[in-house]
Structure 1
């Protein structure tokens, strides 16, 4: 019997036309660095008395399915996660293509994701998958990855793949050194670290069903928030925080081939931070920030992805 290795695993994704029904075709192989996507069913200890000192057999509890995927921030695969976060984009251009994702949509698409382990063999199909959160961190160096936090309806396993023949993507990966941050359209300097999290705040519909699965995951109020750590060389952000006035922050990357990704938070409110002095080195200040609905444009955020993929 072969032992499964992570390098031999595959992850295939397709959008569903009906929630909870995995399509028979149309899958795409997705790059990923780590996954704990799975289904869990805990045991409940027996509470019954009068049967002696040794416990009776435990009872199975409800099934929960979902988990986190660590994914590269790249010019093509990222579009699948942006669609899962915001809904379908508006696409313009003839190559390169510009895909514009807007926040505020009432419904987000569901996905089917199959995690394949061919050496066992073990193929786990997760249907009714929705993206709860998409987050990443900007810094000076290291590998640039994001985290997709998912909620699934359930898991079905098989010894062969049910994803057909998946298509592949061109991997054009962004790097930390290609990143930039702007405030109101002007470059924001002295940033040491930035964290960005977009959440759909999904509410699982945990109805009573014979199969133990959920009925769905309803979208709650969206949120966009994070944290910025800066070397204290200017009071620009501090002045915004003290005044309580919003500013526009844009977090972006541009690859040498012209591919790019920019997430713009149109109305950002900054918390008022302390300015700690922790030694003889440079003084750093950390701002928590939160996005909100703007007046023009009338939305919280816009994500723009430019690549050679015609549609999502």
Structure 2
């Protein structure tokens, strides 16, 4: 399968449900379950014997997950889809700082095409929006994220509808580039950390003659996760008992200057169960939740530094 292709976000490509004729960018990905399905409804009618009548088609559902690398350039497209347009500062030739904030009511939609040239089958998905973006920080392995997508529909053709997509440089972050701080101080004894941002999209399921949705509205967002730590001090436990918030920062930085920083401004921790299961070190898991802070008056801020002038 060739790489995934994605539209630019510039007008008029932001029209929901419209796939533009050009302006696509080739995107790196590792796996995809993005597809459309239309189930059949069994006939409930009686009086025609024991053999059932023909089934009827139900509504179309187009959604799925993409496994994508967390890199210095392409990941900015996913951040824009999840959080909305960033505020960008910097001058040519860069670097540029892109600042994304939670709380936007208007999120962009995309057109995504996946291709299987050997068949041939090229599937174009219009009205694609990011419902959830999640990844795990750990000591080793490949650093990837999962993007949960909701689309309006699927159009299948025997040739590509994306034209000649633009290419971008792939500069990946690695796990050993990562760091976690709490209130500006490095947080030690962390074994792994999981981060999930959800837009909790509400599908607009109006009556249409094509069986597709009219759109997807963002509802109350959520920023949650889990921190697995070696139980070596009482820093997080004391916060959980007291009930107050802290600021957590999850960051990656490359020696060449590119960086990605996710700051949750008001994180609340539950009081976890601490178990002694054997002679190994004792671990504790904190299923944290972020909320809107008083200053700044938002839940999270994401800063991406790279050489891309505009998303």
TM-score by length of 2: 0.97
Distance in 2 (CA, whole Å) between partners of 1:65 and 1:300 is: 29
Distance in 2 (CA, whole Å) between partners of 1:9 and 1:40 is: 22
What is the match of residue 10 of structure 1? 3
Q: Deviations over 1:95-138 (max 9, x none)?
A: 11110001111111011101111111111110001000000001
Kept in 2: contact 1:10–1:117 (CA 8 A): no
- 2:102 is the counterpart of 1:103: yes
Q: Deviations over 1:203-241 (max 9, x none)?
A: 000111001110000010111000000000111111111
- 2:192 is the counterpart of 1:193: yes
2:16 maps to which of 10, 19, 36: 19
Question: Following superposition of structure 1 onto structure 2, how do residues 213-232 of structure 1 map, counting pairs within 5 Å?
Answer: 213-232=212-231
Q: Deviations over 1:5-43 (max 9, x none)?
A: xxx322111133211111111110000000000000011
What is the match of residue 61 of structure 2? 64
- 2:286 is the counterpart of 1:297: no
1:93 maps to which of 87, 90, 94: 90
Distance in 2 (CA, whole Å) between partners of 1:147 and 1:221 is: 20
Runs of 4+ aligned residues of structure 1 deviating over 6 Å after TM superposition are: none
Distance in 2 (CA, whole Å) between partners of 1:185 and 1:72 is: 27
Helix, strand or coil at the partner of 2:288: strand
Q: Deviations over 1:79-99 (max 9, x none)?
A: 000000110111111211110
Distance in 2 (CA, whole Å) between partners of 1:280 and 1:248 is: 33
What is the match of residue 165 of structure 2? 166
Which deviates more, 16-25 or 143-152? Answer: 16-25
Q: CA deviation at 1:169?
A: 0.9
What is the match of residue 55 of structure 1? 52
Q: Deviations over 1:169-200 (max 9, x none)?
A: 10000111111100001100100011100010
Kept in 2: contact 1:73–1:146 (CA 8 A): yes
Distance in 1 (CA, whole Å) between partners of 2:115 and 2:304 is: 29
Distance in 2 (CA, whole Å) between partners of 1:48 and 1:289 is: 51
Instruction: State the aligned residue count.
Output: 305
Question: Following superposition of structure 1 onto structure 2, how do residues 1-312 of structure 1 map, counting pairs within 5 Å?
Answer: 8-14=1-7, 15=9, 16-94=13-91, 95-312=94-311
Distance in 1 (CA, whole Å) between partners of 2:193 and 2:148 is: 19
TM-score by length of 1: 0.96
Kept in 2: contact 1:200–1:221 (CA 8 A): yes
Helix, strand or coil at the partner of 1:278: coil
Helix, strand or coil at the partner of 1:147: strand
Kept in 2: contact 1:33–1:72 (CA 8 A): yes
Helix, strand or coil at the partner of 1:258: coil
Distance in 1 (CA, whole Å) between partners of 2:117 and 2:187 is: 47
Helix, strand or coil at the partner of 1:261: strand
Please, which runs of 5 or more residues in structure 2 have no aligned partner?
none
Helix, strand or coil at the partner of 1:24: coil
Please, which runs of 5 or more residues in structure 1 have no aligned partner?
1-7
Distance in 2 (CA, whole Å) between partners of 1:40 and 1:241 is: 44
